[in-house]
Amino acid sequence: MGSARKIQLNNKVFGPEELSALVLRSLIADAEAATGQKVTEAVISVPAYFSDAQRKATKIAGELAGIKVERLINEPTAAALAYGLQARKEGGKFLLLDLGGGTFDVSILEIFDGVVEVHASAGDSFLGGKDFLQVLFSTFCSETGIALDKLNAIELGSLLAKLEQLKKNLTTNASHELDISLNAQSYHWQITAEHFANLCEPLIQRMRAPIERAVRDAKLKANELNEVILVGGASRMPMISKLVSKLFGRLPLRHINPDQTIAIGAVIAASLKVRDERLEEIILTDICPYTLWTNVCRKKSEGNYAEGYFMPIIARNSTVPISREENLYPVYDDQENITVEVYQGESPTIDKNIKLGELHVKLPNKLANNRGVTVRFTYDINGILQVETKVIETGETQQLILKQNENNLTEAEIMARLQALDELKIDPREKQENVLLLARAARLYEEVIDYREMLQNWILQFEQIPDKQDNELIIEARKEFSSNLDHLENNY
């Protein structure tokens, strides 16, 4: 999904979106036959680590299938709903590991007071059960010496089907045998679960990196997690449970059919969407899975600059909706414009990231006092990224709207959603709750004498927090500042 790859079936060529649409049409037909009602809308689950391009392709597939995609829900969030984690009164922090046929996701969620909040997501969009099957396939071919170029499509399909069944049998058996006739020759092959696990060690190591990244991004320790949950058919393999036990010192949960967990969660999400009276209302938050950034120049020596450096504006795993800004300045005195290029990704080199768009900003005369440009990114849960530029000297603005779901939203809907995000663009220093708290501290400073130095330190510390543009950090700092003022007022 999200690529330009084409697949030829008979005499027709299909793109990923078209093949997905065929699957969705079949699902829709089954649902309509079972319920007797016409299906017009859907909630679709996607891997948490899907890029904007992959998510957009998924929405297009829904449109090609004739339905309106109401929402894309991340698969780990769907799994949390399926396990009923939102119903736990005590809440908690949970790691969900989803290993499907072609993708691997790991997400860390916190559940509290009817809110399901995603703290971090990581994964590998090109790692799944098919890669473990490929290990068996390569080993079988190597050990039997079979000539693949002599196999026809039917024989090759039969071999892969038998190897898939062998893979499943190794989840419950210490070893398994395979008997198959290929190219008029019989083959007998045996492999143990232990040998299979050893062969798959490079894949297990690929899984470790996203898991460790998610835990690190969430700023958690292994013992701070309440549960680790496995979903996805490929998670049945014992080596996956062993990996989790080794990393977290506990056995994972997997008591719901891992093939159905995501689907069950998506159904619950759809029910929440239509406010089904049998479900308690909960709030699902989401994050930006990739860093959104622009490229800048860095000074190497006097008069020499290197291009293509990474300036993050919205960091990965930031809770959405979110708005952040940075200032950019021209490199040379006679520079007439700045090009703001918008990228998505984590690589330090531009060519390995995804370019989403660009804006060209005309700079004021070189004699102007300030030729800088303020760049603001605003990103919402529906996949709309608004890029705004403002010339500091003149106040002239431009905007670029990048839509993940551009085929679904009218211009009026887009503008309404952007208007709803306007509050995010207010400087934290100007927000009423922060202004009032600083005014309260100033009033208290006038009244007390013995604690003025301490009060002044509190004020200085709180005034520095908005510079970090982290709303959660600001809220936490405001709570602490308010609590300190309460304590001082009650004991003075």
Asked if 88 and 214 sit in the same domain, the reply is: yes
Residue 24 has pLDDT above 90, yes or no: yes
The structure tokens 């990048």 sit at: 402
DSSP state letter for 59 = H
The average confidence (pLDDT) of the chain is 84
Of 170, 186, 201, which marks where a domain is finished? 201
Q: Look at residue 334 in the predicted model and tell me its pLDDT.
A: 85
Strands 227-231 and 68-74 turn out to be unpaired
Preceding amide of 321 cis, omega within 30? yes
pLDDT band at 426 (very low <50, low <70, confident <90, very high): low
Report, as an integer, the average pLDDT of 390-410. Answer: 73
| Angstrom distance (rounded) from CA 92 to CA 111 | 6
Asked if 312 and 227 sit in the same domain, the reply is: no
Asked if 146 and 262 sit in the same domain, the reply is: no
Q: Directed axis angle between helix 452-464 and helix 432-447, to 10°?
A: 170
Other beta carbons within 10 angstroms of residue 371's beta carbon come to: 19
Asked if 327 and 421 sit in the same domain, the reply is: yes
Residue 324 β-bridge partners = 377
The answer as to whether 475 is a domain residue is: yes
pLDDT band at 277 (very low <50, low <70, confident <90, very high): low
Asked if 212 and 361 sit in the same domain, the reply is: no
Asked if 121 and 253 sit in the same domain, the reply is: yes
58: which residues sit within 8 A by CB, 6+ positions away? 1, 17, 20, 44, 46, 50, 69, 72
DSSP state letter for 94 = E
| Angstrom distance (rounded) from CA 34 to CA 37 | 8
pLDDT band at 133 (very low <50, low <70, confident <90, very high): very high
| Angstrom distance (rounded) from CA 411 to CA 396 | 23
Closest alpha carbon to 47 in 117, 107, 93, 7: 107
Q: Look at residue 420 in the predicted model and tell me its pLDDT.
A: 52
H or E, element range at 292: strand 292-301
Cα dihedral 3, 293, 97, 124 sign? positive
Termini Cα distance of the chain: 64
Q: 364, 345 in Cβ contact below 8 A?
A: no
Report, as an integer, the average pLDDT of 405-417. Answer: 51
80: which residues sit within 8 A by CB, 6+ positions away? 86, 94, 96, 109, 111, 116, 229, 265
The answer as to whether 2 is a domain residue is: no
Residue 444 has pLDDT above 90, yes or no: no
Cα dihedral 313, 316, 318, 319 sign? positive
The answer as to whether 1 is a domain residue is: no
Q: 57, 1 in Cβ contact below 8 A?
A: yes
Q: 242, 171 in Cβ contact below 8 A?
A: no
φ, ψ for residue 311, nearest 5 deg: -120, 100
Residue 104 has pLDDT above 60, yes or no: yes
Number of domains in the chain: 4
Asked if 181 and 226 sit in the same domain, the reply is: no
| Angstrom distance (rounded) from CA 376 to CA 317 | 18
The answer as to whether 27 is a domain residue is: yes
CA 272 to chain centre: 21
Q: Look at residue 280 in the predicted model and tell me its pLDDT.
A: 66
Q: Look at residue 149 in the predicted model and tell me its pLDDT.
A: 79
φ, ψ for residue 60, nearest 5 deg: -65, -40
The answer as to whether 79 is a domain residue is: yes
Q: 317, 213 in Cβ contact below 8 A?
A: no
Greatest mean pLDDT range, 1-10, 123-132, 436-445:
123-132
pLDDT band at 230 (very low <50, low <70, confident <90, very high): very high
Asked if 88 and 220 sit in the same domain, the reply is: yes
Q: What is the CATH number of the domain that holds 316?
A: 2.60.34.10
| Angstrom distance (rounded) from CA 132 to CA 259 | 17
Q: 162, 176 in Cβ contact below 8 A?
A: no
Of 171, 201, 231, which marks where a domain is finished? 201
Of 425, 441, 475, which marks where a domain is finished? 425
> DSSP letter string over 457-477?
HHHHHHHHGGGG--HHHHHHH
Asked if 390 and 486 sit in the same domain, the reply is: no
Percent of the chain with pLDDT over 70: 90
The answer as to whether 390 is a domain residue is: yes
Other beta carbons within 10 angstroms of residue 304's beta carbon come to: 8
| Angstrom distance (rounded) from CA 19 to CA 35 | 25
286: which residues sit within 8 A by CB, 6+ positions away? 74, 77, 118, 319, 320, 381
Q: What is the CATH number of the domain that holds 159?
A: 3.90.640.10
Report, as an integer, the average pLDDT of 223-252. Answer: 92
Report, as an integer, the average pLDDT of 58-85. Answer: 85
| Cα 426 to Cα 416, 430, 432, 444, distances in angstroms | 17, 7, 10, 27
Asked if 28 and 147 sit in the same domain, the reply is: no
Asked if 299 and 274 sit in the same domain, the reply is: no
Report, as an integer, the average pLDDT of 17-44. Answer: 92
Q: What is the CATH number of the domain that holds 75?
A: 3.30.420.40
Asked if 251 and 336 sit in the same domain, the reply is: no
Domain that holds residue 156: 129-201
pLDDT band at 281 (very low <50, low <70, confident <90, very high): low
pLDDT band at 382 (very low <50, low <70, confident <90, very high): low
The answer as to whether 182 is a domain residue is: yes
Structure tokens at 194: 């232990």
